[in-house]
Amino acid sequence: MNGINKSSRLPLYYQLVDIIKEKIESNELAEHDKLPPERELCEIYDVSRATVRQAMKELEIAGYVYKSHGKGTFVMSKKIKQDLQKFYSFTTEMEKIGKKPSSQVIEFEAIECNNNKIAAKMGCKLDDKLYKFKRLRLADNEPMMLETTYIPLARFQGISKAQLETQPMYTIFSEQFNVKITMAEESFVPVTIREDEALFLQAIPKSPALMVERLTYEGNTVIEYTVGIVRGDKFKYRVVLQ
């Protein structure tokens, strides 16, 4: 059985999309597996090349496959499902699904706050000293998000770039600075990836993304303000309403 029912009212390309989606979702086709070439798919499912091309187009739009010029069509990495019911970190969430998390610190500096928006977010004064750092977050060496973080220098005096590349930030907060996180607040805005961001994220400029702003609190004090650009093809956020 090839799964295509030519007497069905469903278009043939739509049936082929469902067949391949099921193979991907059941892990019969794993991440980055190469799909058979068009001609072979035509033979396997007894459909025309136009049907196969339409199915591939739909699968690519839906984020199930991607094309590599001159090499063929491959299974896209599965979207990471992120529940927003409780506090989470990138590191622990990647470890839960069996991926190896890592970070590349692209920028790291001590600054004086000269931005009214940042001062308002962090509840600090202009000219207060902050650490500012930009990190590329990866899972199995694949870029997932680009984060710019601000933390108060006085609270985290001595934190280093080397630490942030080798240890989870919240582990550093807890073990080195005895931080007790009481709450985090996040907001999400749909955006497109800028050209400079695309270079780090290995994404297509102007492709869909989410801008995630996080404020992390210790008591009533903001100890972290992070703005992250999250690849839209890599993450799926879920909220349960009760």
Residues 6+ apart with CB under 8 A from 32: 74, 75, 77
Report yes or no on 94 lying in a domain. Answer: yes
Does 115 share its domain with 139?
yes
Both tokens assigned to 161: 């770039």
Does 113 share its domain with 205?
yes
Within 145-217, residue ranges assigned H as helices are 161-166, 169-177, 195-201
Does 124 share its domain with 49?
no
What is the per-residue pLDDT for 1?
40
Please report, in tens digits, the pLDDT of each residue of the chain (242 residues total): 458 888 888 899 999 999 998 888 888 888 888 999 999 999 999 999 999 999 999 888 777 888 888 889 998 876 666 555 566 778 887 887 778 889 999 999 999 999 999 999 999 999 999 999 999 999 889 898 999 999 999 999 999 999 999 999 999 999 999 999 999 998 999 999 999 999 999 988 988 898 999 999 999 999 999 999 998 877 766 666 56
Q: Of 27, 52, 75, which residue sits at a domain end?
A: 75
Report yes or no on 3 lying in a domain. Answer: no
What is the per-residue pLDDT for 65?
85
Spatial contact of 200 and 182, defined as CB atoms under 8 Å apart? no
Does 216 share its domain with 99?
yes
What is the per-residue pLDDT for 101?
87
Quote the domain boundaries for residue 58: 12-75
**DSSP class of residue 37?**
P
b/e 180-219 (16+ beta carbons within 10 angstroms → b)? ebeebeeeeeeebbeeebbebbebeeeeebbebeebbebe
Does 217 share its domain with 159?
yes
What is the per-residue pLDDT for 237?
67
Classify 182 as helix, strand or coil.
coil
Q: Which of 239, 241, 242, 236 is nearest to 77 (CA)?
A: 236
Report yes or no on 203 lying in a domain. Answer: yes
Q: Which of 115, 120, 149, 151 is nearest to 134 (CA)?
A: 149
Dihedrals phi, psi of 57, to nearest 5 degrees: -65, -45
Report yes or no on 1 lying in a domain. Answer: no
Sort 60 into a burial class: Cβ within 10 Å, 0-12 / 13-18 / 19+.
Answer: middle
The residue assigned the tokens 């108060």 is 152
Does 134 share its domain with 205?
yes
